[in-house]
Structure 1
Amino acid sequence: MNQEEVRQQIERILNESHIGTMATIKNNKPHSRYMTFFHRDLTLFTPTDKHAEKTDELEANPYTHIIIGYEGDGFGDEFVEYQGKVTFNHSEELKKELWNEDMKLYFDGPEDPNYTLLEIQPIGVRLMNKKGNEPMELYLN
């Protein structure tokens, strides 16, 4: 599979899958949680509360590891391993654009002062293939 095909497969998974695990470092140990992800090209975005525990963890160490795309069929499922660097994105326009009704469980609306976005720039992205092939690294510019 060439790099364009790898990228297309990764983008397909990101389009179809919105829930994944996100790991940070807490007290020098890995700490994972489920998150909802949106993407623009290969940049991921996830909503969070400004006062959430993960915000402190990411301020101390802005690097993360994300797994997204597991289909639930068992051994051999295709998914993406994603390493990235996190920044906080407070764009009101983007917060409104990514807002959905499910977020009402956590926020009063897109104008909620506690609602912010984590923006994750890719450092390394690998396609884990369901056919048992070796992982395929996407070469980033």
Structure 2
Amino acid sequence: MSQSEIKTNVKRILKESHTGTMATVKNDKPHSRYMTFFHEGLKLYTPTHKDADKTEEIEKNPYTHVLIGYEGDGFGDEYIEYQGEVSLNDTEDLKKKFWNDDMKLYFDGPDDPNYVILEIDPIGIRLMNKKGEPPKELDI
């Protein structure tokens, strides 16, 4: 599979899948949680509360591992293993860009000072389980 085909499949999965797991390190141990993801190109974005455990964990260790795309149908489901470097972004433009009304459960609105975006730059992406084929590494 060519790099172009891998990238096309990765972008399709990112477009179709919005929920995945995000792992950080807490007390020197892995810590995972489900998150909602948005993307532009290969960069991921996810909303969070500025005082959430993950923000403190990221300040100590800015690297994450994300699994996204598994459909739950069983063997052969495609998904992405995504390694990235995380930064906190609280710019008004970005917060408004990714705001949606489902976030009202957690925040007062896009101007809520507790609402921040985790911006994740890719450092490694692998396409997994393409019908039993070995993982395909995307050149970043």
Contact 2:75 2:129 in 1 (8 A): no
CA distance in 1, matches of 2:48, 2:128: 27
Matching residue of 1:40: 40
Gapped regions of structure 1 (runs ≥ 5): none
Matching residue of 1:52: 52
SS at match of 1:48: strand
Matching residue of 1:13: 13
CA distance in 2, matches of 1:30, 1:71: 24
CA distance in 1, matches of 2:49, 2:83: 22
1:34 is displaced (CA, Å) by 0.2
Q: What residue identity is the alignment partner of 1:128? A: M
CA distance in 1, matches of 2:129, 2:52: 33
Matching residue of 2:119: 119
Q: Quote the sequence identity (%).
A: 68
Gapped regions of structure 2 (runs ≥ 5): none
TM-score (norm 2): 0.98
CA RMSD of aligned residues (A): 0.6
TM-score (norm 1): 0.98
The count of residues paired between Structure 1 and Structure 2 equals: 140
Runs (4+) of structure 1 exceeding 2 A deviation are none
